[in-house]
Structure formats: C-alpha cells, structure tokens
Structure 1
Amino acid sequence: MEVKKIIKTLREKNQLTQEQMAERLMVSRQAISRWENGDTQPDTESLKLLSKEFNVSINTLLGTPRKLICQCCGMPLNEDDLISHEQDGSFNEDYCKWCYENGTFVYDSKESLIDFLAKQMPNPENLSEEAMHNQIDLWLSKLKHWK
C-alpha cells in the first residue's frame, strides 16, 4: 500500500478529521492533505510522531519496504505487534518483543537463547542436541546482535 493511502486509512480508522490529525501531529491541515494526496510525504520527525501517536511502525507507514527480522533470534517481524518497543513507547524495528522489552534485552547470552530455541524448534531431521545447537549458533552468528 502507498504511504498516502496508509496515512488516510490511519486517520479514518481513528475517526479523525484532517484538522484533528494535524493538531495531534503538530503540523498544518494542509500538510495532512498533501500527504494524503501524495503530493508530499512526511519528514522523518513526522514519521516518528505518526508511529508513536498511532502505534504503527515506520516500516508499516512507508508501505513495508523492508523485510524486517529480529536481529537477536531471526524471527520475521511481519506484523507491528511482534516488533519491540523502547521505554518511551517508540518501536525498535531491529528486535522482536520477546528478545527486547522496554529497552532491555531478555537473553543475557547467545547460549541461553540457543538453549531456549533448541527446545522450541522442530527437529524433523532428528539432529543430535549438539548438532541442533551448532546449527542455531551458525544462524544467530549472522545477526547484528551477535556479531
């Protein structure tokens, strides 16, 4: 979906006029109109405010241009309700809500995450515990958090 449609849908879903939305975002009604018509797009600060005010990720506001994955466990972040939040309520699009909560990482070490994942993941090839741990470790080592 295009940015202009996303913003209009967000406004209508929250039953706001352009004027009311403009007040919440500290912009003019004309800015909202230009965004919804596709004449302009919100700047970075406006996107951050939209994200926080309406609890949607910036990635979603931009029409999901990036395929997000948790940089701790590798889980796809294809829904906003899976994405973690900072203490101030803003989204942290690098991590899932299970690995990073309110500005704090849940797993103290890669080994503790590997132990958890090894118990949760299917093992159709009946790999040994050591082989399963090695496979998960190899995958996690490619993610930003564990580099």
Structure 2
Amino acid sequence: MSVGDVLVRIRKEQGLTQDDLARKLFVTRQAVSRWENGETSPSIDMCKLIAATCDVPVVELLEMPDAPYCQSCGMPFFKQEDHGTEADGARSEEFCSWCYNDGAFIEDESLEELIERCAPGMAETCHITTDEAVSFMGAVLPTLKRWK
C-alpha cells in the first residue's frame, strides 16, 4: 500500500479534510493532495510529524518491503544466504547474516551505533542522503524485535 493510500485512510478515519490535516501539519492543502494522489511523497521527517499528529505508528507511513526483513537492522531478506544462523546452525527467520550468527548478535552495539554504522550504506543503496537514512532508521528500527 502506498503512503498516499495510507494517508487517505488515516485522514478519513480521523474525520479530517485535506484542509484540516494541512493546517495541523503547517503545509498547504495542495501538498496533502499531491501526497495522497502519489504525485509527490512526504519526507521521512514529515511522515514522523504526520504520525505524531495523527497518533499512528510511523511505520504505517513508511514504505517497508512486503518481504520479511531483519528484526535488527530492517534489511529485507532477498535470498536464503541473507538469513543469520541459530546456535544449532539452523537458519534464523528473524535476523540477517550481517547482524546475527551462531545464535548471537555479531556486534554488541546500541541502536544508535547500529544506525551510525549502517546509515551510509543505506544512503548509497537507496540513493538518499545519509541524514535521510539516519532519520528513516531512527523511525523504523525502534519498532523491530531487537530494539523493543
């Protein structure tokens, strides 16, 4: 589901017009309309503001992959080798091979350290700025199993 579709649903569930939401977010009605129609997308930071304003989880507004993804770093599992391993050698269904191996996390790091380590790679891969990657990861990673 696109961010525009989610935004329409959230706005209607809360009984808000595009004008109402625009006023709450300090943007124009046209900006809200463009987001809802898919002409443009709200920035990651705007998605955080929308989530806080409408009291919904920010991950509803961020387009996460449909496929399962690592519950530590958020990387999608594209192939079997992307999965980490449990202590008995079995494939981990929850964590990737870059975060988890032999039943333990590879790095003993804080959430902030993981973001600092991974954001440059995400920025390069996704063609966004490092600041945008940090913002995205800062919004999504705390919702994952490892960090809850």
TM-score for both structures, normalised by structure 1: 0.47
Q: Which has the larger radius of gyration?
A: 1
Q: What is the TM-score when the length of structure 2 is the normalising length?
A: 0.47
